[in-house]
Structure 1
Amino acid sequence: MSDKDQQDKNTHFGFQTVAESEKAKRVADVFHSVAARYDLMNDLMSGGIHRLWKRFTIELSGVRPGNKVLDIAGGTGDLTRKFSKLVGPEGEVVLADINDSMLKVGRDRLLDLGVAGNVRFVQADAEALPFPDNHFDCITIAFGLRNVTHKDRAIASMLRVLKPGGRLLVLEFSKPGNKMLSKAYDQYSFRLLPLMGKLVTNDSESYRYLAESIRMHPDQETLKAMMVEAGFARVTYHNMTGGVVALHRGIKP
């Protein structure tokens, strides 16, 4: 493929079709806009249930003292904070995010909470992680994979930096199995979510994109197949809240 063809290749930004080179900037603009009130909006959007989804992710991670953990798209640091306690002073947690506004909010929040000694902050692209091969015991990516342009590249990059026997956990919005729930979820996503975004952050369009990006994300079985194709073993997923959210887990052989 020529450089021009590569530059002209298109992808999805929500329901819009945009050039791949444009998507990263537009996603960045979304998170620059919402970073300051990201935690508040998460609580409002999920009724606080996102904390239960993340707690289950922690429980399934199998993280122990001394482990090295990578929290990709770690945002404001909810998972990083918990992992920091689990790995202890001999372990390490890397909070990575491609968006410098989100990374700054997460760093400031964790420092304010006294979480610092075993945590590093790295601005990184999930498609090309700047870490050595076979380095981490566990990788998590919570509500971030759907924003990645080449999800297959990101999954392969995560596999590379995991140690053999290491675990990848992908927590992401997914596809409800019940038709009635799916219809209600659509109404909520496309009517109430942008309204809340307008009222709380004065930014309805960013939250409209977030709703659209959820619909464009692969469903549970498709994402499972992508992880298997990348080389992960024993890939399973757990539906939560009727499939509104799914937690995928895979092991590096």
Structure 2
Amino acid sequence: MFARIAGRYDTMNRLMTFGQDIRWRRFVIKQANLPENGRLLDIATGTGDIAHEGLKQVPGLQAIGGDFTIEMMLAGKQYPDRAPIKWVVSDTLALPFPDNYFDAVTSGFLMRNVIDVPGACREQMRVTKPGGRIVVLESSPPKDNLLKPFIRFHLNTVIPTLGKLVSGDSAAYQYLP
């Protein structure tokens, strides 16, 4: 699915979140509490938005973006104004890195797509240094309140319609919580 929408993934994120995804990624990096010259692994990096945000915020950071969808990483390499990150083909259930290697491990919208969430968490903990942080950006179903019908309409109707118009693939956007 992600291979099909890679070229329009970032555009869709900006549209369907009204640009809030940029603010969320900045917050993820702040919460990661990375030291200067530290190491960041952004797993399920996609086009590398979180890893690139880390490079903007933390001097000397070594940022690695891992994903098993090569097309997403190739789309991320197309941005000429971004600092380079190291791209690594990897699966969150079998990370190709040594134990206790990263100061922080981040992910954005990964857990909803993982078949073994406890396994993914164990693997991320394995590669994170003692005292390091794992920061997960994820969405959840709307709470039962006055806004729920509007949020549901946005999730179930607006986003798939945008997906069809922007990426040509509405199905890729119909599973969101």
Same fold per TM (> 0.5)? yes
Q: What is the alpha-carbon distance in structure 2 between the residues aligned to residue 134 and residue 55 of structure 1?
A: 24
Q: Residues 192-211 of structure 1 correspond to what in structure 2 (within 5 A)?
A: 192-209=158-175, 211=176
Question: Residue by residue, what CA displacement relative to the aligned partner does 1:179-224 show, whole Å, maximum 9, x if unpaired?
Answer: 2222221111111111111111111111113x2xx3xxxxxxxxxx
Q: State the match for 2:119 in structure 1.
A: 153
TM-score (norm 1): 0.66
Give the structure with the larger strand fraction: 1
Greater shift, 56-65 or 124-133, is seen at 56-65
**Counterpart residue number, 1:172:** 138
Which among 68, 81, 84 is matched to residue 98 of structure 1? 68
Task: Report how far residue 113 of structure 1 moved.
Answer: 1.8
Specify which structure has the higher proportion of helix. Answer: 1
Q: Distance in 1 between matches of 2:141 and 2:162?
A: 22
Show the counterpart of 2:45: 74
Q: Distance in 2 between matches of 1:47 and 1:82?
A: 18
Letter in 1 for 2:52: R
* Contact residue 63 and residue 86 of structure 1 kept, 8 A: no
Flag structure 2 segments of 5+ consecutive residues without an equivalent.
Answer: none
Contact 1:175 1:182 (8 Å CA) reproduced? no
CA contact (8 A) 1:65 1:86 kept: no
RCO (CA 8 Å, sep 6+): is it higher in 1 or 2? 2
Unaligned runs of 5+ in 1: 1-29, 215-253
- Report SS of the residue matched to 2:103: strand
Q: Report deviation, 1:178.
A: 4.1
Partners of 1:203 and 1:176 lie apart in 2 by 24
Return the index of the structure with the highest Cα Rg.
Answer: 1
* Deviation of 1:114 (Å): 4.8
Residue type of the partner of 1:189?
L
SS state of the match for residue 166, structure 1?
strand
What is the SS of the residue equivalent to 1:170?
Answer: strand
Q: Which residue of 2 aligns with 1:64?
A: 35
Equivalent residue letter for 1:92: Q
Structure 2: distance between partners of 1:129 and 1:180: 42
Alpha-carbon contact 2:25-2:53 (below 8 Å) kept:
no
Task: Summarize the alignment of residues 1-253 of structure 1 with structure 2, pairs less than 5 Å apart.
Answer: 30-89=1-60, 91-109=61-79, 112-116=80-84, 119-209=85-175, 211=176, 214=177
Q: How many pairs were matched up?
A: 177
SS of the residue corresponding to residue 128 of structure 1 reads coil
* TM-score, length-scaled by structure 2: 0.93
Distance 1:85 1:196 in 2: 30
Letter in 2 for 1:160: R
- Asked if the contact 2:35/2:58 (under 8 Å) is kept, the reply is yes
Identity of aligned residues (%): 37
